[in-house]
Amino acid sequence: MRQDKDFLGKEPVGRLLLRLALPTVTAQIINMLYNIVDRIYIGHIPDIGAMALTGVGVCMPLIMIVSAFAALIGYGGAPRASIFMGKKQPKEAERTLGNCFTMQIVISVLLTVALLIWNRDFLLAFGASENTIEYGTDYMNLYALGTIFVQLTLGMNSFITAQGFAKTGMLSVLIGAVANIILDPIFIFGLNMDVRGAALATVISQAMSCAWVLAFLFGKKTFWKIRKEYLLLKGNVILPCLALGVSVFIMQASESVISVCFNSSLLKYGGDVAVGAMTILTSVMQFAMLPLQGLGQGAQPIISYNYGAGDAGRVKEAFKKLVQVSLIYAAILWVLVMAAPQAFAALFTADAELMEFTAGALRVYMAAAILFGIQIACQMTFIALGKAKESSLVAIMRKFILLLPLIYIMPHIWKSNQTMAVYLAEPVADLLAVTFTAILFFLQFRKALAKIEKPLA
């Protein structure tokens, strides 16, 4: 049975959020498996596990950049298409989809060429040592070949969830994740391919997800179909999408820059063990960030559609429920991490020294994770409302203005343990960033609601 196009403006908000957020959160958790399953298996390779894990960890900045470009298009285009849907302008929604599809392919080709030519230089610049560089290049040489699959899967899947087809979007990720979990041990251990096996499993898995996503967007069930008449890039269509997607791009791409800064600083103060621990810390951080982004994705179609339709009451209700659920999740995860950091560390390594060091670092690094619910909910709502400037500002504030300088400042403040001081930069930056974001959101959200309430006065 074909779904009612106007259900986003009719069904009760609480039920809608539950219906849309459960699949998107599940999809993000499954997507998280893409990022951590490789590292779990790699960390347990006999004899070389710890060094191989560190080498692949140094690849993360490059992988984050690939994902960030997908987010630039998907998170920028999908909310605009939802707003057009709320305004009853289906052709504009499809025009947005077509332009974003073309842009995604162009970016994929450019990224693939760059990664194949310069990945070794990038990895050395990003903190790889003589002990770990070969593992990193072995992984990236194969991973680069699947860049187009990663781009189209992550970027175009946003247009599926933005229409309210959250379960279909979840299946897009589930297909690849299940394949990855099955193929990883076969290639890594069965065929003795080590880190190259992990990369090959990821490429094949993403190709399967990509095929599913494109089959849906070219098929009959979608509200917005990829049509050849909308594939030619138009500045007035693609540029607003890029402007809106910049904030998520900054949020994800800056993880690459921040990761480089963390790795270089940690290599200076703590050596390969500290860099290896950082690989695990960023993996655990995804337990917080990705499900919270999934909640935001679930709320996005509701907020965007009703903002386009001029229903301020439903927009406000959706945001309130998003914040409540986000805070509850962040609080639960924070308690688990503080209570049992060793359990999280043990997921990724059997090395006793690395496990013990990571457990202590994890409590420091995620000390302010309880506040992420506010940060992500506000930022995702800015995007859902089409507020490009505000969403970009909060992303730049957290990463570049606060966190990046603190990575280098904190070791000079806490001189007795400079390695832990580097990790402490994260919670200090988070506390300041959440304060700034909450104040800005309170002011701008009221203005946005007043804007769409005026015609009803």
Cβ-based neighbours of 235, under 8 Å, separated by 6 or more: none
Each residue's pLDDT tens digit, 62-116 = 887 888 898 899 888 888 888 888 788 889 989 999 999 999 999 999 999 998 8
Each residue's pLDDT tens digit, 368-400 = 988 988 998 998 888 888 887 888 888 889 888
Nearest CA to 155 out of 70, 68, 244 is that of 70
In a domain, 457, yes or no: no
In a domain, 1, yes or no: no
Domain that holds residue 353: 12-451
In a domain, 265, yes or no: yes
Please say whether the beta carbons of 153 and 176 come within 8 A.
yes
In a domain, 427, yes or no: yes
* pLDDT level of residue 457 (50, 70, 90 thresholds): very low
User: Is the pLDDT score of 28 beyond 80?
Assistant: no
User: Is the pLDDT score of 204 beyond 70?
Assistant: yes
Each residue's pLDDT tens digit, 161-195 = 888 787 888 888 889 888 988 898 899 888 888 78
* pLDDT level of residue 456 (50, 70, 90 thresholds): very low
* pLDDT level of residue 1 (50, 70, 90 thresholds): very low
R_g over Cα of the chain: 21
Give the 3-state DSSP-derived string for 49-99, with helices as H, strands as E and coil as C: HHHHHHHHHCCHHHHHHHHHHHHHHHHHHHHHHHHHHHCCCHHHHHHHHHH
- Number of structural domains found in the chain: 1
